[in-house]
Amino acid sequence: MDIVRYSLRNFALEALRLKKRRDNLNETDEDGLRRYMAFVLTGRHPDQDEQAIVDVLADQISPDDVDILEVLRDFDSLNGVSEDLPFVISIAVYPVPRFEDTLKKDCMLTCLISNNVCAT
In a domain, 94, yes or no: no
- 9-35 tens-digit pLDDT: 899 999 988 888 666 666 667 888 888
Domain that holds residue 34: 1-60
Q: How many structural domains are present in the chain? A: 1
How high is the pLDDT of residue 70? 67
How high is the pLDDT of residue 64? 78
- 53-88 tens-digit pLDDT: 888 777 677 777 777 766 665 555 556 666 766 666
In a domain, 55, yes or no: yes
- What value does the mean pLDDT take over residues 94-118? 68
DSSP string of 66-86, one letter each residue: GGG-------S------SS--
In a domain, 7, yes or no: yes
- 81-91 tens-digit pLDDT: 667 666 667 76
